Chain A
C-alpha cells in the first residue's frame, strides 16, 4: 500500500463546478501537508500548504483531518485554467524528513 493515496480520477467537470479531491496518508509520523498543481510536462508547483485549522486561498480550500489521516482540496467555481493534475504531498519524520507524493488526480474543466 502506498504511503499517500489519492482519488484515481480523472475528474471531468463543467466550468463553474465545485470539485473536491481527497488524499489519505498511512504514516502517523506525517508532519506537513501540501497540495501541488502540475501542468503537462512541467514541474509541480505548490498550490497551498495544509494547516490543522484548514485554510483558504480564494477559490481553494484545504482541510486536514489528522484523526482520519486525510487531507482534502476543494476548488469552487472551476475555471478552464484549473485543468491540471493535483498532487498531494506529505512530509514524514524519518531521521529527518522525507516528502512523499500521491499519484495525482487529473482535472479537466470544460466550457
Chain B
C-alpha cells in the first residue's frame, strides 16, 4: 500500500513550457486535492475533485487545469508555465466516514511527498 504517490519529485521548466504532475492513490479515496505551498503562505488549494470525472476550483486555480479520469489518479497541468508557479506542489486524498450522528464527514487528508517545481 503505497498511499499517495506524486510524479515527478523535482522539475525545472522554462517559462512557457507545459507539464503535467501526476498524483496516484491506492486507497480508493473519493476526494483528491492539489495544493501549492510557498514560503509563509501555508497550503493553498488549487483544484480538488470529489469523485471520478469531477473537478472544482480551489483558492488559486488560475494557470492550472486538472483531470480525474480515473478514481485513483488526479492530474495537474500547467499549460504555459510562469515563474510565479515556482512552488512545492502537494497532492492529497481523503474519504468520507460517518460521525456518531451518522452524518458523513470528510476525513483528514493523506499527502504525497510533494513536487518541487522551478520555472526559470
Which B-chain residue is minimally distant from A8 (CB atoms)?
B40
Q: Give the interface residue-count category, chain A.
A: 20 to 34
- Per DSSP, are chain A's interface residues mostly helix, strand or loop, or mixed? strand
Interface code A77-107, partner B: CB below 8 Å = 1, 0 otherwise? 0000000000101010011111111111000
Point out the residues of chain A lying under 8 angstroms from B105, CB to CB.
31-32, 91
Q: A34: CB under 8 A from chain B?
A: yes
- The residues of B that contact A43 with a CB separation of less than 8 Å are 90, 111-114
Cβ-defined partner of B45 (8 Å) among A42, A46, A49, A99: A99
Nearest CB in chain A: distance from B109 CB, A: 5
Residues B77-105 near A (CB distance < 8 A)? 90, 92, 94, 96, 103, 105
Given contacts A98-B58, A101-B43, contact A46 B31 (CB under 8 A): no
Is B35 interfacial (CB-CB < 8 Å)?
Answer: yes
Given contacts A32-B106, A44-B109, A96-B51, 20 further A-B contacts (CB under 8 A): A31-B103, A31-B105, A32-B107, A32-B108, A36-B108, A44-B43, A44-B90, A87-B42, A89-B108, A91-B106, A95-B50, A96-B31, A97-B50, A97-B96, A97-B106, A98-B48, A99-B45, A99-B106, A101-B42, A102-B42
Task: Name A residues whose Cβ lies closer than 8 Å to a Cβ of B.
Answer: 3, 6, 31-32, 34, 36, 42-46, 49, 87, 89, 91, 94-104
